[in-house]
């Protein structure tokens, strides 16, 4: 028996068929890969096909790949397919390494499957999207949409629908109690008030109604919902969350009660696990590559000035907790208290060799040890000295929200030029804006993009 009053995810027929087709395509492409290599099919391949298909299905569900196709672009679908399959491959390689079962499989067949599967699945999704969009172009599979509320939220919804015509949604008009009928809003007419909406809904002129009213209009929203209950129209609520400045907001379920996070982190659950795997793998690889340069840098620091080779400083980590960040010493002092003064470009405390290290960011190399310790990430907002944090957290709105993720060695702000000295409030505000953009849009693809760009434009200030 169903319970009233709880939000449930919508499962379209296409999404259900897509689950079945994905599983079938994965098994089928392995069979084809084995057949192409002229190897006989065996029980081992059956196990690989079943395991790969089930793991792909699980990761695809977590990544939301089976949400409504009407609102999904092909590039988004393809990226999800490739990324999900990438982690399936990593799981296969890990199992093969631990169990030493790789000798029981044809490497040629498995490599062919690893390449062929995402190509076939991506092509299948593309064909379905093209078919649906062509049907919508000729008037099939179109949903007639009405928007109740012609304010900023309603107009933003209308513009979103118009700019994504491939979704097959046609805005027939606005309904609003405060505007006269036949008023034109960005070429979309106002068709009437609530009474007109109910009449059109009963007469079958509408498929969907989107209620786009501010949160303060709770009583009016209840009245509208009560009136629409006398129609067979599908009703959607568009929460006016744009009155808040959201940071990686998402729907969650709390004991069956839907809640929305306003300020959140993208690195909970699977996202946090993937980020940690990325940090460990990249941290180990990079440390191996820079081990010899670090030796020469350490010698350079030792022989160029008096003092320790490494310098550690307290900074804010995940959740605002204190961490010790390691760097090659570039100055004649090692300040880490209230006496700390931000370094400037012509600071006479910087050694000659230290200027070279700071200009090329080579002084940051020891922080890959912090990455392996789990205190930092390869990519993330750069950690600031404690005193600098305390100075700016009171002057820059949302400053501390950069600490909902681990600090990083490189970041989106750094490759966009906001690195080094922040001698003005404007510079710090710009850096924080880039940091928050990174958190809001985090993905492993974004991390890899930042790492690649760091090689070309992130080292030299």
pLDDT in tens, 321-348: 889 999 888 887 665 555 556 666 566 6
CA angle 54, 57, 58 (to 5 degrees): 90
Distance CA 140, CA 170 (A): 12
Higher pLDDT, 277 or 11: 277
Distance CA 410, CA 455 (A): 10
Q: Please, are residues 211 and 235 in contact by the beta-carbon 8 Å criterion?
A: yes
Q: Please, are residues 389 and 314 in contact by the beta-carbon 8 Å criterion?
A: no
The answer to pTM > 0.85 is no
Q: With bands split at pLDDT 50, 70 and 90, how would you rate the model's confidence at 7?
A: very low
| Least confident among 168-172, 267-271, 298-302 | 267-271
The arithmetic mean of pLDDT across residues 288-299, rounded, is 92
Residue 3 pLDDT exceeds 50: no
pLDDT value at residue 377: 93
Secondary structure E strands in 317-389: 322-328, 377-379
* Residue 25 CB coordination number (10 Å): 21
Work out the angle between the directed axes of helices 194-202 and 218-228 (0-180°, nearest 10). Answer: 30
pLDDT in tens, 255-265: 555 666 667 77
The arithmetic mean of pLDDT across residues 161-190, rounded, is 80
Q: Is 378 helix (H, G, I), strand (E, B) or coil?
A: strand
Q: Which residues contact 427 (CB under 8 A, 6 or more apart)?
A: 418, 421
* Cβ neighbourhood burial of 381 (10 Å; 0-12, 13-18, 19+): buried
Q: Which residues contact 247 (CB under 8 A, 6 or more apart)?
A: 262, 263, 264, 398, 401, 404, 436, 439, 440
Q: Please, are residues 161 and 145 in contact by the beta-carbon 8 Å criterion?
A: yes
Residue 247 pLDDT exceeds 80: no
Distance CA 288, CA 282 (A): 10
Alpha carbon distances (Å) from 218 to 223, 373, 399: 9, 49, 32
Structural domains of the chain, with CATH: 13-137 (no CATH), 143-243 (3.40.50.720), 270-457 (no CATH)
Give the largest CA-CA distance in the chain.
87
Q: With bands split at pLDDT 50, 70 and 90, how would you rate the model's confidence at 67?
A: low
């Amino acid at each position: 028996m169903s319970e009233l009053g709880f939000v449930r995810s919508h499962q379209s027929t296409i999404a259900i068929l897509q689950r079945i087709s994905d599983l079938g395509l994965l098994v089928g492409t392995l069979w084809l890969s084995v057949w192409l290599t002229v190897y006989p099919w065996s029980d081992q391949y059956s196990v690989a096909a079943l395991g790969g298909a089930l793991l792909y299905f699980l990761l695809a569900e977590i990544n939301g790949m089976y949400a409504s196709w009407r609102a999904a672009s092909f590039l988004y679908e393809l990226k999800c397919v490739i990324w999900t399959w990438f982690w399936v491959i990593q799981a296969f390689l890990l199992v093969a390494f631990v169990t030493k079962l790789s000798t029981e499989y044809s490497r040629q067949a498995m490599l062919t499957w690893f390449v062929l599967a995402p190509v076939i699945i991506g092509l299948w999704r593309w064909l379905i999207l093209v078919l649906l969009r062509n049907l919508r172009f000729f008037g099939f599979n179109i949903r007639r949409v009405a928007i109740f509320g012609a304010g900023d939220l309603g107009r933003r919804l209308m513009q979103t629908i118009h700019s994504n015509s491939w979704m097959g949604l046609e805005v027939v008009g606005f309904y609003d109690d405060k505007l006269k009928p036949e008023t034109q809003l960005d070429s979309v007419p106002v068709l009437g008030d609530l009474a007109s909406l109910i009449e059109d809904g009963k007469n079958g002129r509408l498929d969907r109604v989107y209620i786009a009213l501010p949160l303060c209009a709770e009583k009016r929203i209840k009245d509208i919902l009560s009136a629409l209950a006398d129609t067979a129209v599908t009703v959607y609520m568009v929460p006016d969350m744009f009155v808040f400045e959201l940071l990686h907001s998402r729907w969650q379920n709390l004991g069956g009660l839907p809640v929305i996070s306003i300020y959140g982190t993208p690195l909970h659950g699977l996202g946090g696990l993937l980020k940690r795997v990325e940090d460990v793998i990249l941290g180990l690889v990079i440390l191996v590559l820079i081990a010899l340069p670090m030796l020469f840098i350490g010698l350079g620091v030792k022989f160029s000035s008096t003092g320790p080779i490494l310098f550690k400083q307290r900074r804010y980590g995940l959740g605002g907790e204190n961490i010790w960040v390691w760097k090659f010493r570039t100055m004649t002092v090692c300040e880490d208290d209230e006496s700390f003064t931000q370094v400037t470009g012509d600071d006479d405390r910087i050694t000659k060799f230290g200027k070279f290290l700071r200009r090329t960011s080579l002084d940051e190399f020891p922080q890959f040890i912090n990455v392996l310790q789990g205190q930092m990430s390869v990519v993330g907002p750069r950690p600031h000295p404690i005193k600098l944090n305390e100075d700016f957290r009171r002057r820059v709105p949302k400053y501390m929200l950069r600490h909902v993720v681990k600090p990083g060695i490189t970041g989106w702000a750094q490759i966009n030029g906001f690195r080094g000295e922040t001698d003005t409030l404007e510079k710090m505000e710009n850096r924080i804006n880039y940091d928050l953009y990174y958190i809001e849009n985090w993905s492993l693809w974004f991390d890899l993009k930042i790492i690649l760009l760091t090689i070309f434009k992130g080292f030299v200030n």
